[in-house]
Amino acid sequence: SKLADSSTPRKSITLSNVIEEFPSGRRPSRICTKRQTFGFYCDAADDSPEIPKTPRSARMGRNPTTPKSAGKAQSVATTPSQKMKLLREGVITPTLGSREGALKGRKSLLEVARDHLHVCMYISGVPGTGKTATVTEVIRNLRANAEKLKLPKFQHIEINGMRLTEPRQAYVHIFRQLQGKTVPWEQAYNYLERRFRTEGGKKSVTVLVVDELDMLCNRRQDVVYNLLDWPANRAARLVVVTIANTMDLPERLLKGKVTSRLGLTRLTFKPYSFRQLQEIVTSRLGGFDGFNGDAVQLVSRKVAAVSGDARRALDICRRAVEVAEAEKQGTVSMGHVEKALAEMIANPKVQAIRACSRMEQVFLQAVIAESLRTGVEETTFMGIYAQFETLSSISGHTVPTITKSLEICARLGACRLIISQHSSSDIYQKILLNVSPDDVHYALQDKA
Amino acid sequence: GDTEEDEDPPEETCVSSYQKARQMLNSSATNNLPGREKEINELTGILQEARKDRKSVSLYISGPPGTGKTASLTKILSDPEMSKAFKKIYVNCTSIASIGAVYKKISAELGAKGAPRSEKDSLQAIEDALVRMKDKMLLLVLDEIDQLVGNKQAVLYTIFEWPRKFSKQLILVGIANSLDLTDRLLTRLQSRCELQPRLMHFPAYTKVQISQILTQRLEEGGVSGLFPPATLQLLAGKVAAISGDVRRALDIGRRIVEVAERSHSAEKPLNLEDLGVDFLPPDTPIAPKQVLDVMNSVYGTSQTLNEDLDDVFPLQQKILICSILLILKKDKNRDITLGRLHEVYRRVCEKLTISAVDRSEFTGLCSLVETRGIVQIVRKKEAKLHRITLQWDEEDVTNALKDKQLIAEILTATSCLGKKK
């Protein structure tokens, strides 16, 4: 950690560029250096005291009356489950950035932000690829180094589209973070308009991070328009970073004039490859050796094949630890991981079919038989009932009445094994199988 | 190294030509508008004439985004001579709470006393103020006027009727993107010739104009050596052919400079002693190749597709796309529902002996692919009935996938379509 500290200022020269104030558009010579290495994102082991302050962990640290949570924050973990608190999703660790992709992302982010004329940026990527974590970390670094270098302060404002009841509430949230007061949106908007449109005074740079951009798009798109139009004023000294999942959101959802303002500075976060996931899990585990290396690899490979979502990988690991704990074993082996995977990627439908009553199972078979006979997926209750009668008499059951069968049908519809369209139209209702026929065959193979 | 950090940053700056160019190519407002001389002259002419004759005029300016409509108006508004002649009000219609609130905003700008309580009061206040206006004419600019489009267009009609009602006081300028907004939405204005706004169109910038703008910007910063004419022509030609949006041209210009700078610094051996010392990179002009690379990464899909599908694309998602292609290529019934796609996908997985994900997971998988813009999902009441359409060109995807062994294998597996035996 000493080593990291001594190397920090050098990096900060580049990192600080965003928030330098150069009214004349010129910059001090030291800023011109072409260095772009960011090797100082050190290991989790020496970073644990300075885990970024998400509000939650900050509260924990400050509150001395709950010794338990304070212990968590210091991460003096001995048992696997305590160690696993480190795996807790949602906590951003600096090591997230040690991966290549994010590093590249950060570099371009910095380059983008370098001269704050270059002001709008769009970051996209599938969920769980570290978009918000990377942006938060870049800003955290900027702030830390700004203090160290006695650089003028910059204001960091964060809004999340998901947390707003209505797009215009964005103004209120921004105002609150600037002034600390809650006012109606019109008032907030007028203040912001004055602040960002008119020249005057020595304004500090404002960095605005807009998470979940797609939630801010209403029909009029006035909020998005304003957020992206302010930076175009030189006086605004505003950097806007927008984050969303969809890669082609600007083309798909936004109006032409908004897309034009958003610009082409875009950055896509790719899904994690299995190697990166492995690295993330390993670094999150720190020095803990109770987790089998092969087990980590299995988790990473399984997740990378489906979504490349880091949260998911960490989730499965945590579950595997819980399984191991329940079996009172100190180490997590492949077996535990496989159990956890089976739980999480299990097919609940097969189990649901197995748990059905005998007549319900026969009814499902009747649905398949009827759709095979007619050749179309969508069948009517009448046709199914005919098949149902045949099938149940073959297997030696008494045939339920139509009312009983409708009841069966309603039950299956309620647990979503079949879809009954317009269930009010009784015997003429249309029925669609909501599970694959193979699943039904597989579930019932020993009963046939 | 600690002493170095404690020093104040030196005042005198040495900015590399790359940085200078990047700063010059910013897309914020500017007062220098090459390529719009004709339009600005025309506008100024109309305004002067209106002032001389003291006759109200209404004007509608249209044009695609990024063609300098607002910039031209701002330039005219900031002209000191205009300030003497007119009282100016600029209202951006995105900034109002609702359509009717535009009156309140205008009356506030007009300096109406007291807070008008209702829309009607505000309207009255504006009209009173207009009547009282004797010495100066009012120049009212409504930017993004398409935001005022509502159900009945009552507001738009009221506003466009002002120039006739107050025939000596008002010059009204509306700005929007669509060419025919006044014809399409304000049909009633056509019945009265004097009500019809005068139309003015800002066409998309041509290749010559874009290169002119870029050249001028670079000359202002004294870094015109960075972009040789050939590269500028290439960049301008490409942008003009696609959109003619100058924001886009400036954006790409900046990107090119950034990429050039990065590759330049990558060549430099990095050593720690260098850090305090600064160096000015020599002006290596940007080659046409660099322009093409950036342009392709911005506009090309097939290239990014190739790169995407190579390694980082999750395997299950690859199989999903291949299944869509298989259905599109080999099956007569080309209409894909999520349920059907899952059936095919399961058979493909079975054939490749890969474990398949179940339906609920598969639905999630589809929406992950959707975020990349490869497919679009038309949502229906049931997840099973969601309709999936391929958004990228079928040929492009096939070509990108062609030489991959896995894909070739899937595309020949017609049996997976599950024809009824």
Q: How far apart are CA B296 and CA A338, in angstroms?
A: 44
Beta strands in A298-448 (DSSP E): 379-380, 418-421, 430-433
A42-53 per-position pLDDT tens digit: 333 333 333 444
The minimal CB distance from B28 to the residues A111, A117, A149 is found for A117
Residue B379: which H helix or E strand, with range? none
What's the predicted TM-score (pTM) here? 0.77
| Cβ within 8 Å, pair B29-A233 | yes
Least confident range from A174-188, B376-390, B405-419: namely: B405-419
Residue A110 has pLDDT above 80, yes or no: no
DSSP B277: S
> Looking at beta carbons, which residues of chain B come within 8 Å of A13?
275
Residue B68 confidence (pLDDT) above 80: yes
Q: Between residues 182 and 241 of chain B, which touch chain A (CB distance below 8 Å)?
A: none
Is ipTM > 0.85 here? Answer: no
Q: How far is the alpha carbon of B43 from chain A, nearest alpha carbon, in Å? A: 23
CA distance A262 to A269: 18
Give the strands of the sheet with A379-380, arranged side by side: A379-380, A430-433, A418-421
Beta strands B86-92 and B137-143, pairing class: parallel
Residue in chain A lying closest to B312 (CA):
A273
- Among B27, B270, B314, beta carbon nearest to A308: B314
Tell me which residue in B265, B268, B342 faces A436 most closely, judged by beta carbons: B342
CA–CA distance, B310 with A168 (Å, rounded to integer): 42
Q: Which of A10, A264, A271 sits opposite B248 (nearest CB)?
A: A264
**From the candidates A260, A343, A350, which should be mutated to test the interface with B, based on the most B CB atoms within 10 A?**
A260
Residues of B in contact with A220 (CB under 8 A): 94, 147
Residue A246 to residue B26, Cβ atoms within 8 A? no
Token pair of A305 as six digits = 């094949």
SS (H, E, C) A4-68: HHHHHHHHHHHHHHHHCCCCCCCCEHHHHCCCCCCCCCCCHHHHHHHCCCCHHHHHHHHCCCCHH
- Chain A residues whose CB is inside 8 A of the B144 CB are 225, 257
Residue B146: CB atoms within 10 Å: 19
The 10 Å Cβ neighbour count of residue B148 is 22
Question: Which DSSP state fits A271?
Answer: P
Is A265 near chain B, with CB under 8 Å?
yes
Using CB atoms, which residue from A12, A345, A434 is nearest to B384? A434
> Chain A: nearest CA to B52, how far in angstroms?
32
* Region of residue B206 (left: phi > 0; alpha: psi -120 to 50; beta: else): beta
pLDDT for residue B353 is more than 50: yes
Residues of A in contact with B358 (CB under 8 A): 345, 347-349
Find, among A309, A402, A312, the residue nearest to A363 by Cα: A402
Q: Give the phi and the psi of residue A387 in degrees, each rounded to 5.
A: -65, -40
d(CA B319, CA B324): 9
Average pLDDT of chain A? 74
Which chain A residues contact residue B361 at CB under 8 A? 306, 345
pLDDT of B78 above 60:
yes
- Asked if pLDDT for residue A388 goes beyond 90, the answer is yes
What residue type is assigned to position B409 of the chain?
A: E
CA-wise closest residue to A406 among A433, A388, A393: A388
- In this prediction, residue A116 carries a pLDDT of 47
**Chain B CA closest to residue A33:** B278
The pLDDT of A229-248, averaged and rounded, is 85
Q: Do B373 and A246 touch (CB under 8 A)?
A: yes
Give the C-alpha separation, B123 to B158, whole Å. 9
At residue B169, the pLDDT reads 84
Average pLDDT over residues B239-246: 90
Q: Which of A232, A264, A305 sits opposite B314 (nearest CB)?
A: A305
Of A78-92, A318-332, B200-214, B270-284, give the lowest mean pLDDT range. B270-284
pLDDT tens digits, A147-168: 665 556 778 899 999 999 999 9
* Residue type present at position A238: L
Q: How many CB pairs under 8 A join A and B?
A: 185
Higher-confidence position of A54 and B333: B333
Q: Does position A35 have pLDDT exceeding 50, yes or no?
A: no
- pLDDT given for residue A232 in this prediction: 81
Q: Does B396 touch chain A (CB under 8 A)?
A: no
Rounded to a whole number of angstroms, the distance from the CA of B67 to the nearest CA of chain A is 10
In terms of CA atoms, which chain B residue is nearest residue A266?
Answer: B298
A105 touches A226 (CB < 8 A):
no
User: What pLDDT was estimated at residue B35?
Assistant: 86
Burial code (b: 16+ CB inside 10 Å, e: under 16) for B279-311 equals eebeeeebeeebbeebbeebeebeebbeebbee
pLDDT digits over A400-447, tens only? 999 999 999 999 999 889 998 777 778 889 999 988 888 888 888 876
Dump the DSSP string for A148-191: HTTPPP-EEEEEEGGG-SSTTHHHHHHHHHHHS----HHHHHHH
Nearest to B19 among A115, A270, A271 (CB): A115
Any B CB within 8 A of A32 CB = yes
| Res B398 pLDDT > 60 | yes
pLDDT value of residue A152: 62
What mean pLDDT comes out for the span A324-333? 85
A chain contacts of residue B368, beta-carbon cutoff 8 Å: 126-127, 307
List the 366-385 stretch of A: residues with Cβ below 8 A of B.
372, 375, 377
Confidence of residue B282 (pLDDT cuts 50, 70, 90): low
- Report chain B residues whose CB lies below 8 A from the CB of A229: 94
Residue B270 sits at the chain A interface (C-beta within 8 Å): yes
Touching check for A56 and chain B: CB below 8 Å? no
Q: Which pLDDT score is estimated for B386?
A: 92
Asked if pLDDT for residue A106 goes beyond 70, the answer is no
Q: What pLDDT score was predicted for residue B338?
A: 92
Q: What is the pLDDT of residues B299-340, one digit of tens each?
A: 765 556 666 555 567 888 888 988 998 898 888 877 899 988
What average pLDDT is seen over chain B? 81
Taking an 8 Å cut-off on Cβ atoms, the answer to whether A118 and B14 are in contact is no
User: In whole angstroms, what is the distance from residue B81 CA to residue A294 CA?
Assistant: 78
The sign one gets for the Cα dihedral A302, A305, A306, A308 is: positive
B228 has pLDDT over 60: yes
Q: Report the candidate in B205, B248, B211, B247 with the shortest Cα–Cα distance to residue B228.
A: B211
Instruction: Determine, for residues B359 and A436 on separate chains, whether the beta-carbon distance falls below 8 Å.
Output: yes
Other Cβ atoms within 10 Å of A417 Cβ, number = 21
Instruction: Give me the residues of B, 58-77, that contact A with CB < 8 A.
Output: 64-66
One-character DSSP codes across B285-329? PPPHHHHHHHHHHHH-SHHHHHHHHHTTS-HHHHHHHHHHHHHHH
B13 phi and psi, to 5 degrees? -110, 150
B 299-338 residues with CB < 8 A to A: 308, 311-317
